[in-house]
Structure 1
Amino acid sequence: MKVYRYLTGPDEIAFCHRVTDILNKGWQLHGGLTLTYDVERRRVIVGQAIVKDVEGADYVPGMDLSAC
């Protein structure tokens, strides 16, 4: 099964640490980073798609994808 997630958050070092943690758990980057600007909070929001192949599992709607 291939699992897909999309991480988002403020463009801060904490986001980089989240992505680094996920990559070290077997996830891979999928596509390029996205950016948008939050006018109300005056900050940049980043997003990154990630994917992971999970052997021996079948997709079930409602499953906790972050636990894969």
Structure 2
Amino acid sequence: VLLGGRASVRNAAETFGLDYANLLEALGELEDAWRDYLEVLSGLVKGEVAVIIDDTVDHKEYSRGGT
């Protein structure tokens, strides 16, 4: 929701009672930190990477094999 643009950020700010300008600034800082992290990570990782997502560890009954 927060990545949908300024209108989504404004809606999130209103929904959660946050200051819009502060939220925009915080999201900008988060974006900068994420970019820096990816730059460092790309320097450390050599070769191909496989991403495996395992969603079986969950609090929901069906994910634990229950019925």
TM-score (structure 2 length as normaliser): 0.22
Query: 1 or 2, which has the higher helix percentage?
Result: 2
> Relative contact order (C-alpha < 8 Å, sep 6+): which is higher?
1
Pair member with larger Rg:
2
TM-score, length of structure 1 as denominator length? 0.21
